[in-house]
Chains A and B, each alone.
Chain A
């Protein structure tokens, strides 16, 4: 199958690959996986004052579309608040990368990774406020 130019760009030059230190402050992790293709995706966000996402990193083991979707998402979430990040929809990711129908699940995985990371951030945040 032919990948779009944008998928190839993200696949060959993935942005923000890696992990933050476990002890880094404000770091939240979203871990998701799709049984259909066996892909695993980890998205980490580093959240600063006012709930603004200052940095993001990802690690994805999967096809080119899954890698491109998560790479793109790390760029998109930066500068957004955690709540604004939740507005990113898989359809926007799929459109930006021109994903074919069989690869739409990769964009869904990336959207779910954002949700999971934000949920992890809010969980920790509530815990801190309560503690």
Chain B
């Protein structure tokens, strides 16, 4: 028996080793396969982990960057968790309201919640989304993409004017309205004012006010009234007094901070920006701004925060949204909002509480506004936007383009893409655009003409740009400037967008001569020069001198940002 057992031992031992090896293989399989399975799941659609995500990405409009970042950081620092222990966190993505609408409608937004400057955008989003869905019967309840919005901060739209300009309009003894501003601008050519385009709530309000005044009504604006030739003629006349448009309130207020009263006499912004300006958020104010609440009525920027009700929203993201909503309603957050110059949504916080910046000393009156303009139906708003696009002040703009040797390669190809974007962003064929190409001298000129006539010519010229030679920037700017002066077209905005990547080294005219010419010429025919310093080698100081002489500005661009920069610049016309 002993011998038999002894003989079986190696067999059993071998069996044990084989089984042990198999077991080890199984364990190894788990160790190796598990991460791979997880990796596969992350790249192949919603997973359990995704379904439990408590990270909420919020798109916000740019004018409230500082406030939103501060609030999100405070919220994230709390390290809240959902009942299933997922970390609640808020991520931010800056976006214009129009981009939010476009992305949300695309079905692939990079965010789950949004906070634009006005509920107008949520309404537009809901309407456009509902139109894309099938509607069962007339009058049926339309689907909505946007969930119930919450408000945490509001601010009225105002006419911001320097104290002297405000007094000249009748403040504080007389009511100042849209008509006061429009009349003054038409009667006094030296009076400079501006409002953003209708892509911004403040721009839309200013435009609506013009349409109401033009139609001779104060409510009940209809599509017929908005399209009436007399209304259009009135709006056109008022719009001719606009200095130039721009990318939004933020750019205008920053410019006002650097240039002071010589920039504009009055402009349309939110009350919060007037407070921020006067309290030094943009540096030492060159003079005090006064918020004028239009007597005919204004509009509120209500900064709604809402979820996009898509199927991808997780229960935990809803929890994060709810937690954020509760956080924003807390006295500490609301006080922070007040300190930033907004009117907090919590009505229990008095606007005149200690430390509140909403004071007469900061140019605002918390008891205002007394009344609001009637916001028409979405269809009428669309008509107003369309008619405005036709009646707004038209532009003569020269694109001055550097094709010196240093532009070779990616720099030139990205610049070409940027120029094409610029043209594409100007939808009206009535705008006049020309082009001056330069390197060692001016090498090509496409004369100013309406885009209806020369859009294709410009596109061809842009496509065939070639780099080589030196940099005769000043000669090129002078070429464009003299042409605009010769046109002497005071009905239009006259502008030059000059781009260079290097240092001036080939022009016949000196900087001093050219700036003197510009300052003299601009007395009769104002021409604004926007300079683009492309890359790190551009002569920023020279460009600044050109911009200063014309009341323009310098923007810096890189191969990565040049396209967006030209897109922004197109909004000025």
- Do A and B share a complex? no
List residues of chain B with CB under 8 Å of any chain A CB. Answer: none
